Amino acid sequence: MEAEAPDPGKAKGFTSPTDGELVGRVLAGDRTGFDDLVRRYQRQAVAVSYRLLSNSHDALEVTQDAFLKAFSSLATLQKPEAFGGWLMRIVSNLSLNYRRSRKTGSQLPLDDLLGPLDAQKTKVLTGSDWMAQSGNPLHRLQSEEMGRKLQSALAQLPEKQRLAIIMFTIEEMPQKEVAAALRCSVEAVKWHVFQGRKKLKELLKEHL
């Protein structure tokens, strides 16, 4: 059930403004620049948060909080071009904090934004909804079981390795953005990815 996730702003064409230009517009008082940044990064924000929280509703709530926080502290962003990595750092920090203190219920009708399948699910996802639309119940059970094991394995990784795997390997974010999000060098990102891969390979060896 890989969701179609259009991300119009992400495909940067010749006419598409850069992150730095959009941040500059927002700081100059043009809030529509922030709407463009939202369209550009909302999918990535939801994805990273969802991989960390395993709960679509919580991921949406964290995404909203992250964008609000980014908007209110945009003036503190030292390198406007690094908006993406900065935003992902906010998303990952909020997700990890959210995980530690699970909120109960939301005042916002975020479920309306989810597809019918996700909206019907319980608040805490017990595993991945991997191929959830498969007509074969056995196949579906197996894939859900696999999703749970993968989530469990990811959760056992040290924080930086987990974030590096999620942002770089799974979400294919540029290394520079991942480095900005993790506040480390590009070389360190490579190392965290490698160490994370090695541990995951060990934890999931019976499935590889």
Partner 1 sequence: MTHDELEFSISQFLDGTLAVDEEAALKARLERDAEARALLEEHRRLTALLKAQPLPEVNWDALASHLSKAVAREEAPAQSYRLFNVSPRVMALAASILVVLGVGVTVLLNRPGRSAGEGLVIRDVHPDAAVAVSSPDQSSPEVTVGPSRALAANTSSPFAEDVVSRPSRVVIASGVEPAQDTSNPLY
Residue with tokens 């191929």, as numbered in its chain:
131
Q: Site mask, partner 1, residues 23-62, x = CB under 8 A?
A: --------x--xx--xx--xx--xx--xx----x--xx--
Q: Tell me the number of residues near partner 1 by CB under 8 A.
A: 58
Q: Does 144 bind partner 1 (CB under 8 A)?
A: no
| Overall residue count recorded for the chain in this entry | 208
For 54: left if phi > 0, alpha if psi spans -120 to 50, otherwise beta; the answer is left
Nearer to partner 1, 115 or 158 (CB): 115
Stretch that binds partner 1, among 17-25, 76-84, 91-99, 143-151 (CB under 8 A): 143-151
Q: Which of residues 75-134 bind partner 1 (CB under 8 A)?
A: 108, 110, 112-118, 128-132
Picking from 5, 148, 181, 152, the residue whose alpha carbon sits closest to that of residue 82 is 181
Give whole-number Cα distances, 149 to 14, 127, 182, in Å.
43, 8, 25
Rounded to the nearest angstrom, the gap between the alpha carbon of residue 94 and the centroid of all alpha carbons in its chain is: 11
Q: Does 68 bind partner 1 (CB under 8 A)?
A: yes
Q: Residues 87, 89, 2, CA angle at the centre, nearest 5°? A: 75
Distance CA 155, CA 152 (A): 5
Distance in Å, CB of 56 to partner 1, minimum? 4
Q: Which of residues 4-23 bind partner 1 (CB under 8 A)?
A: 5-7
Residue 106 burial by Cβ neighbours in a 10 Å radius (0-12, 13-18, 19+)? middle
Distance in Å, CB of 129 to partner 1, minimum? 6
Element (H, E) at 201: helix 186-203
Nearer to partner 1, 102 or 201 (CB): 201
In the complex, the residues that contact partner 1 under the rule CB under 8 A are 1-3, 5-7, 31, 34-35, 38-39, 42-43, 46-47, 50-51, 56, 59-60, 63-64, 67-68, 71-72, 108, 110, 112-118, 128-132, 146-147, 150, 165, 168-170, 175, 190, 193-194, 197-198, 200-201, 204, 207-208
